[in-house]
Amino acid sequence: MLVTGLCLYQRNVTDFGTFLLGLLMANSVIQAIFYTSMKLCAGERVCPEATIYGLLGAAAWITAGYFFIDYATLWTVTPAESRQRNQACVVLDFYDKHDVWHLVSAPALYFTFMFLMCLDDDIIDRPQSEIPVF
């Protein structure tokens, strides 16, 4: 993936910062899905709090992803040139799409971390030697 990003960056297809941010976001989501699926395969359950945080996180990530792929800014140009690409405000006639990306991705990160923190609450009383490791 990183080699693909470097090749695209050299051909000016995309900027490296956006590619790296997308790669890190995708990796985090894939790791959370993998861990949750392995937990379910091992016969453990997901507590209700983690389920709620997971659903809220997924909704926030889908919304944030929509605004992330909108390309409202460019990292490869100067700030003055990037400012020329500013779009019309879409929320409260004040925030443009890039601002909304920041405002929605912050709760998405929060809900994701809360999901991961609460995910193992069902095995808190189990001895460590009985917990399967994957």
| Cβ within 8 Å of residue 50, ≥6 positions away | 115, 118, 119, 121
Please provide residue 117's backbone torsions phi and psi, each rounded to the nearest 5 degrees. -70, -35
Work out the mean pLDDT of the chain and round it to a whole number.
Answer: 78
- How many domains does the structure of the chain reveal? 1
Angstrom distance (rounded) from CA 11 to CA 32:
33
Crossing angle, helix 97-118 and helix 48-68, to 10 degrees?
Answer: 160
pLDDT at res. 32: 86
Banded model confidence at residue 72, pLDDT cuts 50, 70, 90: low
Has residue 13 got a pLDDT over 60? Answer: no
pLDDT at res. 124: 76
User: What is the model's pTM?
Assistant: 0.70
* Segments forming the whole domain that contains residue 100: 2-130
